[in-house]
């Protein structure tokens, strides 16, 4: 997760598209159709992804419609309902957990015409993201079906009560069978860099699963913090970039070989949830 601050109105436009009129956002805020952590907010308020931003389903649909209309093409998202159902691997009255395919963004934006959030709302208008992974990362992603669960999950992530592991196929051999990378990260333009002076704490543990070949290794990575691109940057920093990760020095491949593989936590009712997402075939064929 990315905990860097930005204005609330800019965050809304990042989610729904820069073409959303400022006036629509202001009206929704005045009408309490957009809340931050359950409270009324202003467009200029600073928020991070730790904050729960609630957008009324009606307003969310209007934002999506306006965005698509301004792009001169109305998209009927309801047709993606069945497609979304096919990637659900767990559902109860509070949660939906999906196995996201690579290349599918989790949030609608100016450069994306389809995303998990709008597909989910076609399936359940109350659904909202509780866990975000990169567009090119595959695997487990969590959605909440009500605001109470969304707030609970935000709290659980913030307090490191959710165990996550990722499968990564890297170039080269790791310097040890298992270990820990503790290197602070800082966003710089469109990348994330290691910066010991200004960066924020970032810790990733790893364990070798299998040496595929002389120059390729399958590992499990355990992010103990939630920084943007954390696993990708950390593995690249020990000369083991992820296959397909051209941004951070990985070898060219048709997919980014990073997969949100397993998640374990106690839900809002105290029930233990432990799930694994099937490994993509290209991990095994590479």
pLDDT tens digits, one per residue of 223-251: 999 898 999 999 999 999 999 999 999 99
pLDDT tens digits, one per residue of 160-205: 899 999 999 999 878 788 999 999 999 888 899 999 999 999 999 9
Domain over 6-158 is classified CATH 1.10.1130.10: no
Query: What fold is seen in the domain 163-285?
Result: Pseudouridine synthase (3.30.2350)
Q: Kindly provide the b/e burial profile for residues 86-115, where b requires at least 16 CB atoms within 10 angstroms of the residue's own CB.
A: ebeeeeeebbbbbbbebebbbebbeeeeeb
DSSP 199: P
Q: Which residues are catalytic?
A: 134
Domain boundaries, the chain: 6-158, 163-285
* Average pLDDT of the residues in 121-133: 88
- Joined together, the tokens standing for residue 93 give 């009255």
Give the chain's count of helices (H) and strands (E). 8, 17
Q: Is the dihedral of CA 126, 62, 17, 75 positive or negative?
A: positive
pLDDT tens digits, one per residue of 70-119: 554 445 666 788 889 999 999 999 999 999 999 998 887 656 668 898 88
């Amino acid at each position: 997760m990315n905990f860097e601050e930005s204005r609330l109105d800019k965050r809304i436009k990042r989610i729904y598209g820069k073409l959303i009129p400022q006036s629509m956002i202001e009206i929704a805020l005045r009408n309490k159709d957009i809340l931050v952590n359950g409270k009324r907010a202003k467009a200029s308020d600073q928020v991070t992804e730790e904050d729960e931003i609630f957008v009324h389903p009606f307003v969310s649909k209007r934002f999506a419609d306006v965005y698509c209309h301004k792009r001169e093409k109305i998209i009927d998202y309801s047709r993606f309902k069945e497609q979304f159902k096919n990637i659900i691997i767990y559902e109860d009255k509070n949660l939906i957990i999906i196995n996201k395919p690579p290349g599918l963004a989790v949030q609608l934006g100016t450069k994306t015409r389809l995303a998990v959030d709008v597909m989910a709302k076609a399936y359940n208008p109350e659904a909202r993201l509780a866990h975000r992974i990169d567009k090119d990362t595959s695997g487990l992603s969590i959605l909440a079906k009500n605001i109470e669960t969304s707030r609970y999950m935000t709290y659980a992530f913030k307090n490191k009560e959710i165990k996550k592991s990722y499968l990564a196929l890297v170039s080269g051999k790791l310097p040890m069978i298992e270990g820990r990378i503790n290197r602070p990260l800082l966003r710089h333009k469109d990348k994330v860099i290691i910066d010991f002076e200004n960066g924020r704490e970032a810790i990733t543990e790893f364990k070798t699963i299998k040496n595929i070949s002389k120059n390729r290794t399958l590992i499990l990575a355990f992010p103990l913090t939630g920084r943007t691109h954390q696993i990708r940057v950390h593995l690249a920093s020990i000369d083991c970039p992820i296959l397909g990760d051209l941004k951070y020095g990985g070898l060219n491949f048709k997919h980014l070989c990073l997969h949100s593989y397993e998640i374990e936590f106690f839900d809002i009712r105290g029930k233990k949830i432990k799930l694994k997402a099937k490994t993509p075939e290209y991990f095994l064929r590479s």
